[in-house]
Amino acid sequence: MGMAGALALTLMFSQAPQAPATTGAVSGRVTIEGSNTPVAGARIVLFPNGPIGQRGSAPRIGPIRPPETVTGQDGRFAFPRIFAGPYRVDAQKTGLVSLGQSDQRTTIDVVAGRTSELTLQMQKGAVITGRIVDPSGEPMPDVRVVALRHAPATAGGAVRLFPVMSSSGPTNDIGEYRLSGLGAGDYYIAATPHGASPFGGPAVGISTPTTARTTIAATFYPGTIDQAAAMPVTVAAGAEVANISFAMQSASAFRISGIVVDENGQPVSGAMVMLMDDPRSAPMFGPSGGGQSQADGRFVIGGVTAGTYRLSASIPIMMGRGGSGGGSWISIQGGAGSTTVVSTGGVSRGVVGGTDQPVEVTVTDADVGGVRLVARRPVQQ
């Protein structure tokens, strides 16, 4: 190509319309409320608060990892490239009240091609400490303790508790716990025994005879398994409330058993079965139990207390030549639909309704059996 042709090509590209910007920038500073003291090492997270992407184009509504960064010694932070759209802003640091706990949520609308400025202030958090013991009064290590608050009332008027972002690690060797970073207000303290991983070992042996069984149940302060009987703990801004101690309670334990099959009704071996508390009536403490289905597809989950639960299963995706997917799973949502199962002396009966919902299981005063989960086998590439 001659010099004239190269010059013409250069001019053509230089005059071509540029694609409109789809990202903006966010910068700001975090200080302690009521002062100019910078907060270093605070984690800043931007949660999409609606469709994001270029204005006037198809919005980005698929899964997206929330952008995050950490403040410097001067409390400043910056996000140089953020998709345009609305975001909810959270700031987190141990010992301070997370902005996510605030009743007045901080939001920002990122505009393409512009830099948005944020000034954030964080409060010093309140602290609740105490000790957890077992029913006989002995210290209980490795117990998870959480602080809960009332969720907004639902349309049906149901009152629910939800965990705040601040929670303690496992209790230490003498059962002590410490909850920090709490905002002023009323909290309900709950302790839950160390739960088994939903992707853990084989399910409970099916041939084990049914006998009277008990288990340590999730317990609320001052020592009750009844959420309605829980007593609130009131904390002032930045204050510490000590000696919120109580004993874990035991409760009758039952079993849930059934079979996992695929779309063709064939038993699924090695499916991961997970039991979760019903989110409509119980705080979300994480999995209540789980295990793997056996070679014939059957499973048993033990140590289940009376209540309503959601039961689901997943099948590992095999990657490569015979290797496990290393954390990649196909989740089943109850394949056959939403099923309500009620204990009737060890036999379960179900009423199917809806699609793509976890199976709902209600345990009253006996084991529940005959639960059928339909899992979709992953498509092999």
CA distance 366 to 131: 33
Q: Is the peptide bond before 139 cis (omega within 30 degrees of 0)?
A: no
Check residue 112 and give its pLDDT.
Answer: 92
Per-residue pLDDT of the chain (381 residues; tens, 9 = 90+): 554 554 444 444 444 444 456 889 999 999 999 899 999 999 999 999 877 664 444 455 444 678 999 999 999 999 999 999 999 999 999 889 998 876 668 999 999 999 999 999 999 999 999 999 999 999 999 999 999 988 765 555 556 777 886 666 789 999 999 999 999 999 999 998 865 443 434 444 444 444 558 889 889 999 999 888 999 999 999 999 999 999 999 999 999 999 998 888 889 988 888 888 876 666 666 667 788 899 999 999 998 888 888 888 888 665 444 433 333 333 333 333 333 333 333 333 332 222 245 788 889 989 999 999 888 776 654
Question: Do 287 and 276 touch, CB atoms closer than 8 A?
Answer: yes
Under CATH, what is the fold of the domain 252-374? Immunoglobulin-like (2.60.40)
Query: Does 126-197+212-250 match 252-374 in CATH topology?
Result: yes
What is the reported pLDDT for 22?
85
CATH architecture of 3-122: Sandwich (2.60)
Which residues fall within 8 angstroms of residue 320, CB to CB, at 6 or more apart?
Answer: none
Rounded Cα distance between 20 and 112, Å, is: 9
Provide the residue ranges of all domains of the chain, joining segments of one domain with +. 3-122, 126-197+212-250, 252-374
> Would you say 93 and 43 are in contact if contact means Cβ atoms under 8 Å apart?
yes
Contacts of 96 (CB under 8 A, 6+ apart): 32, 39, 42, 122, 123, 124, 125, 181
126-197+212-250: which CATH topology?
Immunoglobulin-like (2.60.40)
